[in-house]
Amino acid sequence: MTRALIPLLTIPLLLLTACGPTPVRANRAWHGSTPINATYQFGRLTADLPPSTRVEPTTIAARQVLERQGHTIESAEATPQQGRIVALAPPSLGYKKITLRTSFEGHGTVLRLDVQPPNESRARVALESLLDTLGL
């Protein structure tokens, strides 16, 4: 009798795995004076910067902003095509690390911010500080 129940018990498990995880709704908001639309989804804030914005100056400005806020820069690199900064946050900011990526993607520079642990409001504050420094 128990052998007959085993296949019946595995069917619901197969159906659950086929459904997959529930997608997380994207939160969109405008930032800066330009304004720039930024989307937060799956723990990442993504913003398309104006076409005239280049990767290297954006990455350099981001490093300056993070250092002014008391972050310790763990790594930083920038080329005309892509940039990346990993910064450790001071305990007073309430998060551990922020990773900023910039890349040129045909139409312009795309900026991606990841705060660990994930925190949308902290990512948006970091974006506002960067846009203010860039004059955007």
pLDDT of residue 34: 86
DSSP 77: E
Residue 89: helix, strand or coil by DSSP? coil
Task: Look at residue 17 and tell me if it is in a domain.
Answer: no
Task: Look at residue 33 and tell me if it is in a domain.
Answer: yes
Task: Look at residue 49 and tell me if it is in a domain.
Answer: yes
| Residue 3: pLDDT band with limits 50, 70, 90 | low
Task: Look at residue 14 and tell me if it is in a domain.
Answer: no
The number of folded domains in the chain is: 1
> Residue 68 sits in a domain of what CATH number?
3.30.530
116 is in which domain, residue-wise?
23-134
The C-alpha angle 39, 24, 94, rounded to 5 degrees, equals 65
Task: Look at residue 30 and tell me if it is in a domain.
Answer: yes
Averaged pLDDT for residues 114-134:
94
Report the chain's mean pLDDT, rounded to a whole number. Answer: 86
pLDDT digits (tens, 9 = 90+) for 35-65: 999 999 999 999 999 989 999 999 999 999 9
Task: Look at residue 65 and tell me if it is in a domain.
Answer: yes
Task: Look at residue 10 and tell me if it is in a domain.
Answer: no
